[in-house]
Structure 1
């Protein structure tokens, strides 16, 4: 009986957090399809497909927008109008891109607002902002107001409330035009210049998404409804044009003599014209891996098979880098972006002389990759962990317009790497590199890495 009463009490506490004012494409609330006018309760999972959008108007007239391929939920939306100090509001973005515009209650109790991602805590200064996140990286851009962003470490925990402020946090305001805050798992937040990986670039807003400042005076619901009516009207006009019967043939005036009857021209059956419609090309992706065996360990990359449908960009020791066909990557003209090491493999070869070389596996750690699109340059570095020691290696080089990375020639210098790499739009922005170089007089290293 006690357990039943506790469950009933918990259910009663799941209050409405907002109402859906617009839905497009594939979108769900919990296990049901999202519908305009439907309520969103605390704790309910909101999700969108590749073409889906959800606009939620919170109970204090705020706005929570999910763009395509996004999962989020309003964890808590408890408002105490008489005593704002008791207000508790928490939003959570699990993956994708979302926008949060503070409502009246948030503006009165900013110290009790929290927006969580898998790697970061976001607090507000009375704000309108957008967020991109995956499991390892979050990026925040501000439309109006300001935010304070911190990675989860020390006293900043996912189950906490309010903003995390301290040495590891970073603040960003709308006055810092073109900048964003990035947090990578296990690392401190950092402010970056304008980036092709900003939330609006990864998942652009709809044309009917409400502006930062409602100068026109229309509500988000009105904007969405007007756009929907425009589309419906256009579709009806097209339908009428297609379904209308053909116009009757013109009849010559009776006072004019009928034209002389001409012999019909021979009918020639011509093939119907072929109308080619441009196909939507997929984004190009990079593929790398070890293609040569080490002892009894075979490489995961079948080079001959991969080369049948991919372009070989380069080889470095035991490793190769390829690129799939598809839409070309176009590097932006300015901004910087930092990447963290996500997946890697390395091989260290020791030369004992007289052709006696021994190769062994090594691991990479503490990696960093910084790309400056304005200067068209990059810098990278990482630790090579061997069975006996740890060696720090580094490289720098150039970035081409199509996202290729070329490291400056190491020329045999110790701990300087030759690098070949590629930038792609995969997962909101990914870099892939292969490298080789000399650690010391007897040892060389080669490897590959994925960066996000």
Structure 2
């Protein structure tokens, strides 16, 4: 039996994306594929709901986990995003159109805690159409698997694959933007650089690249996330979002 190449699998995801506008509802952009412990979703209209596995994720949703909560989401372009314990992540925008990649838009905000993002087809098509914001820093990607942690002491990010561009929010780096910030205050961090992390502290004007002394940000819960990200979509779920031929590559 011929082995399906990574490129072929990616192509299947991209072609499946053509069907998204017809096969999925206007607001559903992903679903909860894994849930451990307790979590809730606050919808765009402010309505809170107890989160359950299989729940649909929509633009405007804010995912909030308890101290024992861990949520893993799969999006319409096969991207994977996790929200770790005692964390909050908002889906600010999610648009995927394989025929018009210039209209793609993927945007998250991590208000507190830790999140992991594994890029999907929307970002693969045009990396300038992705942004993850925190209260004090913005992260753009070069095609990536990365983890970000934010708390009152600052923002720290590590990279498992690819590269990220981290900038302190302020002059030249606006939370309203899309894609990586540019300028003297930003720094690029790639997986090839080894055990390093990007850090922005409150009132910093520039990002720093430092040894990742506390590797918990890079390693905690990664085995659970790799296992779930490698699980193929169920036939019904794949058909519903036009990704019937898509199979994620095991990490």
- The reply to whether TM is greater than 0.5 is yes
Does 1:219 find its partner at 2:237? no
| Match in the other structure for 1:205 | 221
Is the contact between residue 66 and residue 87 of structure 2 (CA under 8 Å) also seen in structure 1?
yes
Q: Cα–Cα, structure 1 residues 20 and 71, in superposed 2: closer, same or farther, change >3 Å? A: same
SS state of the match for residue 183, structure 2? coil
Provide closer, same or farther for how the CA distance between residues 92 and 14 of structure 1 changes in structure 2, counting only shifts above 3 A: farther
Instruction: Note closer, same or farther for the CA distance 1:220–1:131 as it changes in structure 2 (3 Å cut).
Output: farther
Deviating runs (4+, > 4 A) in structure 1? none
- Contact 1:22/1:54, CA 8 A, preserved across alignment: yes
Q: 1:79 aligns with which of 72, 84, 96?
A: 96
Alpha-carbon RMSD: 2.1
Whole-Å separation in 2 of the counterparts to 1:172 and 1:43: 29
Confirm or deny: 8 A CA contact 1:14 1:43 kept in the other structure.
no
Q: Tell me what 2:38 maps to.
A: 26
TM-score, with normalisation over the residues of structure 2?
Answer: 0.76
Query: Aligned residues, how many?
Result: 204
Contact 1:149 1:164 in 2 (8 A): yes
Aligned to 1:190: 208
Structure with more contact order per residue of length (Cα contacts < 8 Å, sep ≥ 6): 2
What is the rounded CA distance, in whole Å, between the counterparts of 1:150 and 1:14 in structure 2?
Answer: 32
Structure 2 SS opposite 1:114? strand
Q: Give me the whole-angstrom Cα distance separating, in 2, the residues matched to 1:55 and 1:29.
A: 13
Q: Distance in 2 between matches of 1:132 and 1:118?
A: 11
Deviation at 1:219, TM superposition (A): 1.2
Give the CA deviation at 1:138: 0.4
**1:220, distance to aligned residue in structure 2 (A):** 6.9
Please point out which of 118, 123, 137 is paired with 2:154: 137
Matches within 5 A, 1:230-245: none
Higher helix share: 2
In structure 2, the residue matched to 1:350 is none
Helix, strand or coil at the partner of 2:116: strand
Q: Is the 8 A contact 2:199 2:207 kept in 1?
A: yes
Q: Which runs of 5+ in 2 are unaligned?
A: 1-24, 43-47, 235-251
Of 25, 28, 32, 1:16 maps to: 28
The TM-score with structure 1 as length reference comes to: 0.43
User: 2:73–2:80: 8 Å Cα contact kept in structure 1?
Assistant: yes
